[in-house]
Structure 1
Amino acid sequence: MVDAQRFRILLEEERDRKVALLKALQGDITSVNAARQDANVDDEHDPEGSTIAFELSQASALMEQSRVGLEQIEAALLRITDGSYGLCAICGKPIAEGRLEARPWTPYCMEHASGRS
């Protein structure tokens, strides 16, 4: 039987990190957008480095990854609450504790995990 309380703590800590990262990324996006509006530059041809568009694209991609991760964490916390945490969402068998330690948000055992989590 999985120690759900231990995993709850891990998941809550990871949730806090994701929330902080999302706030920081939103701040970065806001700053870059402000710089883009304030500057009258042709950033597509700036030989000094990456373009503003590239920076926005990169921050947006990281933000989306973090949002998805946060959703997975929230779903895992709900599974702890409803008592289904640690059981595969497909076959209902226990998920190996080592897998949960590596990916505490996973709803799948190794057999059913390929390409899912």
Structure 2
Amino acid sequence: LNSDTASAANLVGVPNVPEVGGLLQFMYAAKVCTEAEAVAHAPPQPVKFYLVGDPLKLPENHLEVNNTNVSYAQLINFADGENQVIIRFGRRDEDKYGDLMGYVHPTCGELTFKLSDPRAPGTAEPGI
């Protein structure tokens, strides 16, 4: 290659811009559901946010998440080579939900994050 046909800037791939509108709508609905579930039952049965895995996954098949205790590195370690991460908003009970991933019932929904971009690299949008 020479400077007439290509520059260094043209040789660098542009990352795809993620779509977050659907995620924000889901998070809003899950939060409303969480609050509604807290007042719908006596005594209150809190809905929590969990990363879940196969019931046979050892040592842990769930990881409770709150605003401060789980880092991105912990999420990747929990995924342990899987190609997706599943997040559930629900209640955990090993006896009641023994056949569900992480023993967590998806009371207020579930998100599945693919850990790779399914779009073709050539469809990348210009960065902002």
Fold match, TM over 0.5? no
**Under a length normalisation based on structure 1, what TM-score does the superposition of the two structures give?**
0.30
Q: Which has the higher helix share?
A: 1
